[in-house]
Amino acid sequence: MMEEGGDGKMKEETFSLNSKISDVIRDEAFSGFGRLLFPVDLALSPVMTLKDLGKALLWYSYIRPERTVSLVNELKSRALAGERVFYDIYSPAEKAADPRKKDTGLFFFRGKPQGKTAILSAGGGFVYVGAMHDSFPHAQELAKRGYNAFAIIYRVGAREACEDLSRAIAFIHDHAGELQVDIRDYSLWGGSAGARMAAWVGTYGTGAFGERPYPQPAAVIMEYTGLSDVTGKEPPTYNCVGTTDGIAWYGTMKRRIEGIRANGTDADIEIFPGLPHGFGLGEGTVAEGWLERAVRFWQRQMKD
């Protein structure tokens, strides 16, 4: 919505903590994709506010409603300024053949023109996509640093999710000129189930999930997932996790990083005392600042 200011010009009406999620979804700035800002696989009350969204995001901790408000306001501002903030990754024909593909796509937090590219997958246990806490905030912060950050909304189900991530990688590679991004040395980021997606696609490649082969990412950045397998084909990998995580034990993650290093590949892990699962950016916790260190790890892998 827009309202007239005292100078007669139209000014943007921003969302607040008390804004209803349903009003955000219906906002004209998000026409055609507003529902995908929030988990479509969860039954959210039509009167739920942005302040209360965190109560619905199972398995997550340290959710900051103020960050949620800043995200929807930034995306709206970008859209009203003429930026395209959402891209479909499947054609109308593909969506007609598989209606679940209607609930997929990429939210784009634009950084610098021709800046490097990060692709982020939120977690949610392959039950829902918790982007508002587990990928949008990271994308927002990466864009502030000049990186072009894409947050994927995918179909739940491990295989389908990896297919959607592979399609996103293909889409960005094939449209890099139009998007004005540098896809060389791109990185894959993910938390929980999203971290598994990043690891699986990063290791096995897009060709294993229905797309033609595209270059392997320069780095995989993973938060709190208990993946244990090491094949010897892993990209350079950064992990972070808390010691009180009851879903992804830090010991499993530490052993995997050691296994990747043993194969001669750069890998690093940060283990945060007392943190549970799903801390996101870790704002206000001992993990705060991990994203900056992950960026430095990614930069270390860049060749172009």
Tell me if 272 sits within 8 A of 240, measured CB to CB: yes
Instruction: Report whether pLDDT(42) > 70.
Output: yes
Note the pLDDT of residue 10.
36
Percent of the chain whose pLDDT exceeds 90: 95
Average pLDDT, the chain: 95
Taking the whole predicted model, whether its pTM rises above 0.85 is answered as yes
d(CA 134, CA 132): 6
Kindly list the distances between the CA atom of residue 283 and the CA atoms of 35, 177, 287, in Å, as whole numbers in the listed order: 26, 35, 7
Residue 148 is which amino acid?
Answer: N
Instruction: Report whether pLDDT(304) > 90.
Output: no
Tell me if 228 sits within 8 A of 200, measured CB to CB: no
Note the pLDDT of residue 185.
98
Q: Tell me the per-residue pLDDT of 116-128, one tens digit each, with 9 for 90 and over.
A: 999 999 999 999 9
Q: Tell me the per-residue pLDDT of 57-108, one tens digit each, with 9 for 90 and over.
A: 999 999 999 999 999 999 999 999 999 999 999 999 999 999 999 999 999 9
**Region class of 62: left (phi > 0), else alpha (psi between -120 and 50), else beta:** left
In the predicted model, what is the mean pLDDT of residues 237-260? Answer: 98
Q: Give the chain's length.
A: 304
In the predicted model, what is the mean pLDDT of residues 7-25? Answer: 80
d(CA 142, CA 121): 14
Architecture of the domain spanning 84-301: 3-Layer(aba) Sandwich (3.40)
Domain edges within the chain:
84-301
Q: Tell me the per-residue pLDDT of 43-52, one tens digit each, with 9 for 90 and over.
A: 999 999 999 9
Instruction: Report whether pLDDT(3) > 90.
Output: no
Note the pLDDT of residue 12.
67
**Bridge partners, 120 (sequence order):** 151, 189
Instruction: Report whether pLDDT(2) > 50.
Output: no
